[in-house]
Amino acid sequence: MRNNSLGDITNLSASDCSLPLAHGFGLMAANSVGAVVGTFGNFLVCTAVLYTSPRLRRCSNYLLVSLAIADLIVTMVCEPLVVGIVAKKTFFNDCASNLELAYVVSSNFSCSASVMHLAAISVDRFLAVIFPLRHGRIMKSHGLKVMLIVVWVVWGVATVFASLRVPFLKETAYMVVAMFIISYFLVIGSYLSITISVFLLRRRKKQASRQGRTVRISVSSKAERRFAFTLAIVIGVFTACWFPMIVVFFAAGKSLVKMYGTAYMWIRTLALLNSAMNFLIYSARIRDFRDSYALICRKILRCG
């Protein structure tokens, strides 16, 4: 994402389009590892939910599958493009304007797709924690379909819009920022409500214990809260990876680092690497995912 026209790159000198050898190798290695690990990991998420474990076939996890598909766009398209761009800058002092164009069109909305998925997942967690008895019925009847349709239709329209308006990437980039901000307000609002709900429940438990009464909490309710905390970690990691890009490229109305320079490329890479992290969080926090990953890997090794 950026806030300048791609045409500016044609006016740069060869020195502006070069990268130090050490940084070039580091950037290529980071993006290559992110592409391989992220692609494998996101395919694991999809396979675990859709084919391996019946216990993972719940509405909330289908949203994680959809997020994994959005991340696959990054790991299979954006990161290989960055590897090519870095290679040209490192070894040939070439700005790789054609690759930059392909990267901008594909990456501008990979961010919006991811954050829109996080917004949908946050709303789902809000319903699960605040309205536990109605959550399943809402999601199974129409909630899941509505969320997936809204996310992918908006993403598709935005991507087509960006592709048709390549000379005006500055405007489409700001549209991505607007989508980012709106989605993030939904995320913050949902988790603020969840936090308040958990705080009030703990307060009720303390008051009840002082009065010698017991407040019962179902096992499913505890599981929903744990799952909500896991997704809060996912959102926190996403924020840590993408926030530097938003601040550096948009907060001041202009880029705070040299365009196409070393810092610019590392900030880009940090944002893209987020797409390789979610499946690791799931495996660390959710046993069913961990068991499914292990089963899939054993089957792959057995076939090999």
Confidence band, pLDDT 50/70/90 cuts, at residue 3:
very low
Six token digits for residue 189: 């609002």
- The closest of 271, 194, 265 to 237, measured between CA atoms, is 271
155 has pLDDT over 80: no
- Check residue 1 and give its pLDDT: 44
For residues 237 and 280, give the distance between their C-alpha atoms in angstroms, rounded to a whole number.
Answer: 11
Q: What is the pLDDT of residues 18-64, one digit of tens each?
A: 889 999 999 999 999 999 999 999 999 999 999 888 888 888 899 99
When mean pLDDT is compared over 159-173, 181-195, 240-254, the highest value belongs to 181-195
The helix-helix angle for 287-303 and 21-47 (nearest 10°) equals: 100
For residues 209 and 203, give the distance between their C-alpha atoms in angstroms, rounded to a whole number.
Answer: 10
Q: What is the arithmetic mean of pLDDT over 77-94?
A: 92
Could you give the dihedral angle defined by the CA atoms of residues 40, 45, 50 and 55, in that order, rounded to the nearest 10 degrees?
A: 140
Q: What is the arithmetic mean of pLDDT over 234-248?
A: 86
For residues 292 and 110, give the distance between their C-alpha atoms in angstroms, rounded to a whole number.
Answer: 27
Instruction: Say which amino acid occupies 304.
Output: G
- Check residue 303 and give its pLDDT: 81
How many residues comprise the chain? 304
**Is-contact 45 4, C-beta < 8 A?**
no
- Check residue 174 and give its pLDDT: 66
∠ CA 19-171-67, nearest 5°, is: 75
Q: What is the arithmetic mean of pLDDT over 248-265?
A: 76
- Check residue 239 and give its pLDDT: 87
* Residue 97, helix vs strand vs coil: helix
When mean pLDDT is compared over 96-105, 196-205, 206-215, 217-226, the highest value belongs to 96-105
- Check residue 2 and give its pLDDT: 42
- The closest of 108, 97, 48 to 74, measured between CA atoms, is 108
For residues 291 and 245, give the distance between their C-alpha atoms in angstroms, rounded to a whole number.
Answer: 35
**Is-contact 48 292, C-beta < 8 A?**
yes
- Check residue 82 and give its pLDDT: 95
For residues 304 and 297, give the distance between their C-alpha atoms in angstroms, rounded to a whole number.
Answer: 10
Confidence band, pLDDT 50/70/90 cuts, at residue 216:
low
Q: What is the arithmetic mean of pLDDT over 92-98?
A: 85
- Check residue 4 and give its pLDDT: 45
- DSSP element (H, E) containing 74: none
Alpha helices in the chain (DSSP H): 21-47, 59-73, 79-92, 97-130, 132-138, 144-164, 169-210, 219-246, 262-273, 278-285, 287-303
Q: What is the arithmetic mean of pLDDT over 228-234?
A: 83
On average, the pLDDT of the chain sits at 81
**Is-contact 175 111, C-beta < 8 A?**
no
201 has pLDDT over 80: no
For residues 179 and 183, give the distance between their C-alpha atoms in angstroms, rounded to a whole number.
Answer: 6
For residues 102 and 163, give the distance between their C-alpha atoms in angstroms, rounded to a whole number.
Answer: 9
- The closest of 294, 125, 133, 131 to 226, measured between CA atoms, is 125
- Check residue 265 and give its pLDDT: 92
149 has pLDDT over 80: yes
